C-alpha cells in the first residue's frame, strides 16, 4: 500500500516540474493521488512561489537600472543617426535624378550636333554627286559624239569610264536621275553594238545562197575601219565569242559540210579561193583522201591569212573539232583498207594526216590532237574496222545465202573386220555411217561443252563418255551389234539398256555408250580391212562463205608481215586478225536460228551447216599446222600458235546438235500429241472413240511420212534413217505403253489394236536398203530399237494362249518383253481360266530359270 504524500511535497513536485521540467524522483510522489482538498494548499504554494519570483525580479531590476538607462540613451542616439543618414541618402537620390536630366540634356544636344554634321556631310556628298552626274552626263555626250563620228573605240572607252563613274555613286545609284543616265548609257551601248555588228557583217560576209564567204581586211564608213578595230570593239562589248561561234557554224554549213560530205551520201563539192572569197564550185573532180587533205590545208591557210590571230585562234578552237570529226568519219575511216592491197596507200594517207596536224601546229591552232590520236591509233582502228566488216559480212550473208543450197560429200576411212556387214558389198554402210560422221573423236583434253537436256544423246554429249586412246581405230559395228548401236537414237527410253539381238551369232564386242566399237590397234586382227565411207548431205552456202572470210583474215596476217608491208603502221595489229574467226562463229551462233526459221527443215539445215563448218575448220587448222612448218613468220604470229578455235569449234558443234535435238523433240511432241488423242486406245471399237483412235494412228503415220519428205533432201541417208528411226521408236513406245496399260482388251478391240500394229509396221518401207547386188534388206530393226517388240505385240494381240506360250519358250519374245509385260497382256486378253493360270505360271517359271 502506497504511503500518503503531504500537500507540501505535492506542491514542491509541481513547482519543480514548472520551473525545471523535472520529474519527481520519489515513486510515492509520482504515483500519489491529488485529492480536491489539497488544491487550496497547492494554489497557495504556487502563489507564494510567484511572489518570490516577482520580488527577485524587482531586486535584479534595481541593481541593473543604471545600465538599462545607458542602453536606452545609446538606442535613441542611434535612431537619430539613422534618420540623419536617410535624409542624406534622399538628398543624394535627388541629386542623382538631377544628374540624369543633365545627361539627357547633354545627349540631346550631342545628337543635334551630330545631325547637323550629317546634314552638312550629306549636302557636301550631294554636291559631289551632282558634280559626278554632271561629269557622267558629259562622258555620255562625249561617247555619243564619238559614236556619231565613227570613233567606236573612243565611244567605248567613254562608256567604260561612265560605267566606272556610275559604280562610284554608292547609295545614289538607285535614284531616278541615275537610272535615266544608266538607261541612256545602255541605249548608247546597244547602238554601238548594232553598229559594230554591221561592221562585222561587212567585213565577214556570208552568202549562204551563193555558197560564198568573203573575209575583208577593212571597210569604209566615215573612214576606213579595220577588222582589228572591230574585233577589239567586240571584245569590249563581250560579244566576240558569240560572233565567232556564229561564224564557225556558217563556215561549216557553207564550206566544210559540202566539201567534207561522205562520198556514200552525196558527191562532195570543190572549193575555189579567189582573193578575199572562198566558195563552193560544183562537184569535186578528185575524190581521193589526198585531195581532200590538200583542200583542208588550203582552207586553213585562207582563214589564217585573212583573219587576225584574235579571230583565227578562237575560231580554230571551235572549228577544228567539227572539221576533224567530218574528216575522220567521212574520209579517213572509209579509207581504212579492208584488204592488204590498200596498206601502202593508207600509209601515205597517214603521213599526209600527220603533215596536216603539223601545219595546224605552225598556225598555233588548237584542236588537232584528234588527228594525231587517230594516226597513233590507226592500227587498232584498222583492226576494229576489219572485225566490224567481217561481222557485217556474216550478217549480210545469212539472209542472202540461206536459199543457196548445195550437196556436199563427206569422206571417212575406217577399219572394219571382214565378217562385218559393211564388207558384204558395203550394203550396210549407211547404217554405220551416221555413227562415223555424227560422233567424231573429241580431243580428250578439251572441256566438255555445256548442253541443254535435249535430244542429243545420239551425239554423245548427253552422257559422260569415256575417252578413247586417239591412236585407236574406229570400227563399224556388225549386224549383230547394230541393235545396240541403234538404241542410242531412241526417245524418252534411251537410258534403258538395249535389248539383246534375237540370235547373236558371235560374242558382242565391247562398245561405247553411243554404239562405237573400241578396237585398239594393238589387237587388230589380220582380217581387218580399211574402207572409205562416203555420204552426201545438203548444206547452205553459209559455211563456205564464213570460211572464205576466215581464210582471208588468216592469210592477211602473213601478207602484212612480208618485208614490203611490215613497216606499215597497221602491221603490228595484224595478230589481232586471229580473233576474227571467233567473232564470226559467235555471230553465227547468235543469229543463225532467226534466218533459218523460214525453211521447213531449219534445224536440220543448221545441224548440217554446223557439221560442214566444223569439218572445214578442222581441215583448215590442220593445213595451217602443216604450212607453219615451212613459214618464215615469227612463232608468235603463226596460225598454229595463235588460232585457238577448239572451244569455238566445240560450241558450233554443240549448237548444231542442239538444233537437231530441238527439232527431234518438237517432232516427238507432235507425235505424242497425236497419239494422246486416242485417250490410251481404250474402247477403240466403240462408236465414241473409234474415229479418234483411227485418226490418231493415221495422223502419226502420215506425220512421220511428211517429216521424211521434208528431211530426205537435207540429211544424209544414215542421219535420215537414224532420225526417222528415233521418231518411229517414239510413236511405237507410246502406243505399246498405252496398250500395256489397258486392264481389259476384248476380242474386237484386240483385232483393232492388231491392225494398228500393222499400220505402224508399214513404216518399215522407210528403212529398206538395196545392196550392189540388188538385194533389198529391211534394216528397220537397226534404227527402231523397239521394232521387234511391236511385232511381238501384234502377234500377241492376234494369238492364242498356246501361241503366246510358244513365243515365250521357243522364240525370242523373252528378249523383247519382260515376263510381267507378257503376263499383263495375257490377263487383259484372256478371261480367268485354268489354261491362263498354267500359261502364266509357265512363263514366270521360265523367266526365273
Q: Which three cell numbers stand for residue 62?
A: 534595481
Cell digits of residue 31: 504515483
CB contact set of 460 (below 8 Å; sequence gap of 6+): 439, 442, 513, 514
Residue whose entry in the numeric block shows the C-alpha cell 498405252? 738
pLDDT along the chain (849 residues), means of 10: 66 75 72 74 79 79 71 81 85 82 83 81 68 65 62 66 65 64 69 76 86 84 72 78 89 91 85 89 88 92 89 89 91 88 88 91 80 90 91 90 86 62 41 37 35 38 36 33 33 35 33 34 52 86 92 87 81 87 92 89 92 92 85 77 87 94 94 90 83 92 93 90 93 92 88 91 88 80 91 90 88 88 90 89 81
- Spell out the long-range contacts of 399-403 with Cβ–Cβ below 8 A and sequence spacing 24 or more: 399/595, 401/540, 401/541, 401/542, 401/545, 402/540, 402/542, 402/595, 402/596, 402/598, 402/599, 403/540
pLDDT given at position 524 = 45
pLDDT at 643: 83
User: Quick one: pLDDT at residue 545?
Assistant: 92
CB neighbour class for 183 (10 Å; exposed up to 12, middle 13-18, buried from 19): exposed
Residue burial 299-310, b: 16+ Cβ < 10 Å; e: rest: bbebbbebbeeb
Name the residue ranges covered by the structural domains of the chain.
7-126, 239-376, 657-848
Q: In terms of CATH architecture, what is 657-848?
A: Orthogonal Bundle (1.10)
Question: Residue 179 has what pLDDT?
Answer: 66
Supply the pLDDT for residue 184: 67
Number of neighbours of residue 102 by Cβ within 10 angstroms: 10
Q: How far apart are CA 571 and CA 344, in angstroms?
A: 11
Question: How does DSSP classify residue 458?
Answer: G
CB atoms within 10 A of CB 810: 8
Question: Alpha carbon of 834 to those of 510, 810, 825: distances in Å?
Answer: 45, 22, 17
CA separation for the pair 504, 477 (Å, rounded): 13
Please give the Cα distance from 364 to 303 (Å, whole number).
13
The total of other beta-carbon atoms located within 10 Å of residue 174's CB is: 9
The crossing angle, in degrees rounded to 10, of helices 787-797 and 801-809 is: 150
CA distances from 375 to 279, 351, 532, 648 (A): 30, 9, 56, 34
Joined grid coordinates for residue 704? 512421220
DSSP 629: T
CA dist 664 and 675 (Å) reads 17
Q: What is the DSSP letter of 253?
A: I
Helices 747-761 and 787-797, interaxial angle, to 10°? Answer: 150
Contact 425, 412 (CB under 8 A): no
Q: Give the model's pLDDT for residue 82.
A: 87
- 195, 201 contact by CB (below 8 A): no
pLDDT of 12 reads 75
> Residue 275 burial (CB < 10 Å; 0-12/13-18/19+)?
exposed
- Grid coordinates 588527228 are at which residue? 371
Output phi, psi for 407, to 5 deg.
-100, 130
Look at the block and give the residue holding cell 604470229: 637
Amino acid at each position: 500500500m502506497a504511503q500518503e504524500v503531504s500537500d507540501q511535497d505535492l506542491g514542491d513536485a509541481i513547482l519543480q516540474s514548472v520551473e525545471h521540467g523535472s520529474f519527481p524522483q520519489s515513486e510515492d510522489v509520482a504515483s500519489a493521488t491529488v485529492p480536491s482538498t489539497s488544491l487550496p494548499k497547492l494554489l497557495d504554494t504556487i502563489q507564494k512561489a510567484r511572489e518570490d519570483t516577482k520580488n527577485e525580479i524587482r531586486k535584479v531590476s534595481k541593481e541593473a537600472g543604471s545600465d538599462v538607462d545607458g542602453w536606452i540613451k545609446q538606442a535613441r542616439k542611434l535612431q537619430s543617426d539613422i534618420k540623419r543618414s536617410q535624409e542624406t541618402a534622399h538628398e543624394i537620390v535627388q541629386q542623382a535624378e538631377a544628374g540624369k536630366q543633365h545627361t539627357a540634356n547633354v545627349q540631346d544636344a550631342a545628337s543635334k550636333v551630330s545631325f547637323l554634321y550629317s546634314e552638312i556631310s550629306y549636302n557636301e556628298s550631294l554636291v559631289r554627286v551632282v558634280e559626278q552626274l554632271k561629269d557622267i552626263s558629259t562622258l555620255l555626250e562625249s561617247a555619243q559624239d564619238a559614236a556619231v563620228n565613227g570613233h567606236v573605240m573612243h565611244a567605248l572607252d567613254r562608256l567604260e569610264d561612265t560605267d566606272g563613274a556610275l559604280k562610284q555613286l554608292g547609295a545614289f545609284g538607285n535614284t531616278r536621275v541615275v537610272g535615266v543616265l544608266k538607261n541612256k548609257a545602255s541605249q548608247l551601248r546597244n547602238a554601238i553594238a548594232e553598229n559594230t555588228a554591221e561592221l562585222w557583217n561587212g567585213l565577214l560576209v556570208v552568202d549562204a545562197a551563193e555558197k560564198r564567204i568573203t573575209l575583208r581586211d577593212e571597210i569604209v564608213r566615215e573612214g576606213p575601219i579595220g577588222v582589228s578595230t572591230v574585233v577589239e570593239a567586240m571584245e569590249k562589248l563581250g560579244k566576240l565569242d558569240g560572233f565567232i561561234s556564229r561564224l564557225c557554224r556558217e563556215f561549216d554549213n557553207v564550206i566544210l559540210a559540202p566539201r567534207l560530205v561522205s562520198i556514200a551520201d552525196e558527191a562532195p563539192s570543190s572549193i575555189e579561193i579567189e582573193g578575199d572569197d572562198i566558195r563552193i564550185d560544183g562537184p569535186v573532180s578528185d575524190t581521193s583522201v589526198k585531195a581532200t587533205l590538200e583542200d583542208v590545208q588550203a582552207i586553213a591557210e585562207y582563214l589564217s591569212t585573212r583573219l587576225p590571230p584574235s579571230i583565227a585562234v578562237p575560231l580554230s578552237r571551235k572549228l577544228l573539232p567539227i572539221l576533224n570529226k567530218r574528216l575522220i568519219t567521212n574520209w579517213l575511216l572509209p579509207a581504212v583498207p579492208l584488204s592488204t592491197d590498200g596498206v601502202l596507200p593508207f600509209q601515205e594517207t597517214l603521213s599526209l594526216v600527220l603533215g596536216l596536224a603539223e601545219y595546224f601546229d605552225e598556225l598555233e591552232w588548237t584542236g588537232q590532237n584528234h588527228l594525231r590520236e587517230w594516226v597513233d591509233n590507226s592500227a587498232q582502228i584498222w583492226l576494229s574496222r576489219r572485225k566490224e566488216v567481217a561481222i557485217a559480212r556474216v550478217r549480210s550473208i545469212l539472209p542472202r545465202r540461206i536459199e543457196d543450197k548445195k550437196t556436199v560429200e563427206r569422206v571417212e576411212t575406217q577399219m572394219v573386220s571382214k565378217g562385218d556387214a559393211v564388207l558384204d558389198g558395203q550394203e550396210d554402210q549407211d547404217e554405220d555411217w551416221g555413227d562415223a560422221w555424227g560422233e567424231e573423236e573429241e580431243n580428250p583434253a578439251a572441256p566438255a561443252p555445256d548442253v541443254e537436256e535435249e535430244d542429243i544423246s545420239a551425239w554423245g554429249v548427253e552422257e559422260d563418255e569415256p575417252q578413247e586412246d586417239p591412236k585407236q581405230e574406229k570400227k563399224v559395228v556388225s549386224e549383230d551389234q547394230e541393235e545396240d548401236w541403234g538404241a542410242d537414237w531412241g526417245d524418252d527410253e534411251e537410258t534403258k539398256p538395249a535389248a539383246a539381238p534375237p540370235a547373236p551369232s558371235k560374242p558382242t564386242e565391247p562398245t561405247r555408250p553411243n554404239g562405237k566399237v573400241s578396237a585398239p590397234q594393238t589387237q587388230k586382227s589380220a582380217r581387218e580391212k580399211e574402207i572409205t565411207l562416203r555420204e552426201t548431205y545438203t548444206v547452205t552456202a553459209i559455211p563456205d562463205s564464213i570460211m572464205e572470210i576466215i581464210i582471208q583474215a588468216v592469210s592477211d596476217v602473213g601478207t602484212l608481215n612480208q618485208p614490203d608491208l611490215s613497216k606499215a603502221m597497221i602491221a603490228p595489229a595484224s595478230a589481232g586478225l586471229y580473233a576474227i574467226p571467233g567473232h564470226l562463229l559467235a555471230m553465227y551462233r547468235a543469229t543463225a536460228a532467226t534466218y533459218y526459221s523460214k525453211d521447213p527443215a531449219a534445224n536440220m539445215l543448221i545441224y548440217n551447216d554446223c557439221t560442214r563448218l566444223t569439218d572445214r575448220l578442222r581441215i583448215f587448222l590442220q593445213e595451217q599446222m602443216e604450212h607453219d612448218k615451212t613459214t618464215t613468220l615469227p612463232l608468235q604470229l603463226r596460225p598454229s600458235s595463235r588460232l585457238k578455235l577448239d572451244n569455238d569449234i566445240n560450241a558450233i558443234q554443240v549448237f548444231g546438235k542442239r538444233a537437231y535435238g530441238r527439232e527431234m523433240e518438237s517432232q516427238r511432241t507432235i507425235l505424242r500429241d497425236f497419239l494422246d488423242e486416242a485417250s490410251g486406245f481404250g474402247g477403240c471399237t466403240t462408236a465414241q472413240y473409234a474415229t479418234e483412235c483411227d485418226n490418231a494412228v493415221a495422223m502419226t503415220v502420215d506425220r512421220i511420212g511428211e517429216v521424211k519428205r521434208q528431211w530426205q533432201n537435207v540429211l544424209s541417208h544414215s542421219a535420215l534413217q537414224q532420225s526417222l528411226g528415233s521418231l518411229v521408236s517414239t510413236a511405237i513406245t507410246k502406243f505399246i505403253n498405252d496398250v500395256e496399260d489397258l486392264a481389259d482388251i476384248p476380242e474386237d478391240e484386240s483385232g483393232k489394236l492388231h491392225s494398228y500394229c500393222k499400220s505402224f509396221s508399214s513404216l518399215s518401207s522407210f528403212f529398206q536398203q538395196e545392196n550392189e547386188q540388188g538385194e533389198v534388206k529391211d534394216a528397220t530393226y537397226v534404227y527402231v530399237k523397239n521394232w521387234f517388240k511391236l511385232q511381238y505385240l501384234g502377234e500377241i494381240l492376234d494369238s492364242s494362249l498356246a501361241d503366246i506360250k510358244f513365243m515365250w519358250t521357243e522364240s525370242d519374245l523373252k528378249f523383247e518383253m519382260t515376263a510381267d509385260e507378257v503376263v499383263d497382256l495375257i490377263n487383259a486378253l484372256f478371261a480367268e481360266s485354268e489354261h491362263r493360270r498354267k500359261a502364266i505360271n509357265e512363263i514366270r517359271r521360265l523367266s526365273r530359270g
